[in-house]
Chain A
Amino acid sequence: MADGGPAPAPPRPRAVLEPGRLRPPVRPASLAVGALPVAGVVLTGVAFWWIGVSVPSLLAGLGDTLALLRRMLPPDLPPAPGLLSAVVETLLIAVAGTGIATLVSLPLAFAASRSHGSARLVRGVARLVIVLTRVVPTLVFAILFVRVFGLGPLAGGLAVAVHSVGMIAKLATDVIDEADPLPAEAVRACGARRWHVAVSTVVPRVLPSLVSIVLYRLDINIRASAVLGLVGAGGIGVALQTALGGLDYDRAAGIIGVIIALILVLEVLSVATRKRVGAAVPDRTTKGHVLPVSAGARHDVGWDRGRILRFAAVAATVVLFVVSVWSLEPAPQRLLDAWPNLRQLLTGMWPPAFSSDIVLGVLESLLMAIAAAVVGSAGGLVLALLTARGIAPWRPLATAARALVVVLRGVPDLVYALLFVAALGLGPFAGLLALWISCTALAAKFFTDSLEELDAVPRQALESVGATRPQVFLGATWPQFVPAFTGNGLFVVDLALRESIVLGIVGAGGIGYLMQESVATLSYDVTSAIVIVIAVVVYGIETIAQAARRQLLGR
């Protein structure tokens, strides 16, 4: 302990200090991290120049968008039965996709985990599958699967499932690797087989985390399945595509309203569910320990209320999952018919046909993503400072800002893109604006959460010193917030990049347009080249983001 040494000397006369001792040393690591925002701003400038963003163009865009919004009023709802079945189909696609993904992810996660002794080759393959499925967006899978399985929810459900495997399996692998290894060792010491160990020690430990991961993914998937219909993969997006294609903007506004309402309702439900799941964990452990002891020789805990409810919840989930898979109409004949298509797709993909168009398209997507993330993070920071508890200056303003963020987040990016394309015409300008809005909302949510998690004591300490509000912010809040700001900012870039890839599907610039065209013209060698370039770029950005985060959090 550094404090064990001798007590400090009695007060000395004022030391004579040379100026050098008052200047802090310069750290190269902090300079490198400081370069990140500078790079972001420079790239944003490049992107604005490339896309042609300027104050006059923004003002003109605003006018055109307002004109479109005026044409969308009053919103018009489609007939109730059709609307209801579209909503139900959307939900079922998400449930089926998430369920299938979970079933596939569990064994995959065990195969990929370091702590369960799978062979190196198995682990490598499992990790490759996880990375590939994660970096290719749902909508890209949807385009390919529509080719293979035909129009309809089957393609959508499978696209959701395949992309979700990447995230669920990755998070589950982390949870498994982080679980305490001692219980597994103890069971292994009793002579249990490897899968015994997995089932009886690891599954119970990771179950609560897994449930919240799956619920979180379900939340994402419902948002995703609302727009799958734009490429013909089922759900409410089909109706939206039809309305916009027929220039029926009143109808489109009505459907967008329904999508927003649906997502807001689900947001409330998922927050409530996650709270319950989180709260149920300690309850369960107490019961497991206490009941058998007090019941003496009994080896069964019996059917108390909690157990009945849990059993009912599991049964309902299983039934819902079966119904959702059934609703995708996976008839055996249909799957057999898809086989030749799949073979054609896979054989057509080799060898990949790289071209400069692909590189330019990906570059455009990347620039759009970075510019939108940088500008969106700046706007998101302002919103977060107005919203976060303990920091927000005025409560009514905080409530209003919070509501604005929730509504902005409720609209899928692709819907923004569709609207801007309709208002401003095809091209990356529309895509950039769409991403800008969604990045602002996303960044605002991330930043608000991390601002509210900051340690309040340094803030109180500065208040007790008599510092003014701006001084407290810059002295105590901001330095604590910098790692979260950079980390979340990079995460926003990461997400924006994935989104910018698919925006082209509706004509909003970037690589997505080329992608859809290649599938439509059966040029699968171009498709595979695009997928490879996308995978490399997304993986590269992810790696940079991770390294920066480590650098910031490490000492």
Chain B
Amino acid sequence: MRGRRSAIPTAAEEPGRYAVEMRGVHKAFGAVTVLDDVDLAVRRGEFVGLVGPSGAGKSTLLRLVNGMHTVERGSVRTLGTDPATCSRRGLRALRTKVGFAFQQFGLVGRLSAMENVLMGALATLRWPRYGVMSYPRALRVAALENLDRVGMADQRFQRCDTLSGGQQQRVAVARTLMQGPQLILADEPVASLDPASSALVLDILRRISREDDISVLCSLHQVELALANADRIVALRAGRVVLDEAADTLTADRLRTVYGTGDGTDG
């Protein structure tokens, strides 16, 4: 632990090198400690897989990064800004640069894929919008391009609740692309998908990360998927970082022994 901490240079030494920087982060809900002395750094353009059993603190960690939760001790810097010190307007400005993909997708089922994707650009607009045609033409063109990037352009006017789980998650990824994000946080994006859809969604995320130089911090349950897609693996167990290594030097068996089998009873 200590050795690794000193390996992370501070932002002052190399400004702009990190998309996410957490130091000595502690977070509890009531009497339950969820994160305990966590250090984590995500470089620009890096794809970091966050693995660990249920309840290890993965979701909480992601929500600290975009300011949905705030830390009790320690510091968080997201794209060089501390979300906890932001005003409401400042937080909104920060979030426009951070995409978030949810396990349950967060799409409005009754609306079309196109309209859901367009909502990713809401922060660039002043007034509320309702209906695809209420968005400017340029945004509609951009939305179609982003749907095309995730292979969903043909279904753009289909209601989201008629799409399969994998298709919905791809639409959700297209929505984060509308933000033009520098960082994408993905909270178990494939946990409710079948293996083929999971592989496809992660493949899309990785490709986007490479092509647009977007940092991705993605929590995952499945060790194999993490190893196949991430540049670096960070393992959490009971709120502590128990492993932080480059993916190409790790084997699935070693990773499993380090953080324990994902039986969901831990933490």
Contact = CB atoms under 8 A, between A and B. Distances in A.
Contacts of B200: 3, 7-8
A285 interface: no
A460 B106 contact: yes
Contacts of B204: 8
Interface string B175-214: 1100100000000000001101100100110010001000
Interface string B42-84: 0000000000000000000000001010000000000000000
B261 interface: no
Interface of A is mostly: helix
Contacts of A4: 196-197
B137 A3 contact: no
B112 A475 contact: no
B252 to A, nearest CB: 23
Contacts of A25: 157
B216 to A, nearest CB: 15
B167 interface: yes
A482 interface: yes
Interface string A462-490: 11111110110111101110110000000
A21 interface: yes
A3 B106 contact: no
Contacts of B179: 465-466
A299 interface: no
A476 B100 contact: no
A483 B161 CA distance: 14
A470 B128 contact: yes
Contact of A463 (B95, B110, B163, B196): B95
A9 B137 CA distance: 25
A455 B107 CA distance: 10
Interface string B105-142: 11111111011000110110101111111000100110
Contact of B110 (A1, A23, A482): A482
B150 to A, nearest CB: 6
Contacts of B98: 464
Interface stretch (A11-19, A150-158, A389-397): A11-19
A213 B43 CA distance: 58
A17 B196 CA distance: 31
A479 B159 CA distance: 12
Contacts of A17: 141, 144
B231 interface: no
B244 interface: no
A125 interface: no
Given A21-B144, A461-B100, A483-B110, A466 B150 contact: no
A22 B151 contact: no
Contact of A3 (B68, B99, B194): B194
A4 B167 CA distance: 11
B149 A24 contact: no
Contacts of B123: 465-468
B175 A465 contact: yes
A7 B200 CA distance: 6
Given A3-B167, A3-B197, A483-B110, A466 B95 contact: yes
A24 B106 contact: no
B110 A465 contact: no
A239 B92 CA distance: 60
Nearest to A459: B106
Interface of A: 1-4, 7-12, 14-15, 17, 19, 21-25, 455, 457-458, 460-468, 470-471, 473-476, 478-480, 482-483, 555
7 contacts: A8-B200, A21-B144, A23-B132, A24-B112, A460-B102, A461-B100, A474-B128
Interface of B: 66, 68, 92-96, 98-100, 102, 104-112, 114-115, 119-120, 122-123, 125, 127-133, 137, 140-141, 144-145, 148-151, 157, 159, 161-164, 166-167, 172, 175-176, 179, 193-194, 196-197, 200, 203-204, 207, 211
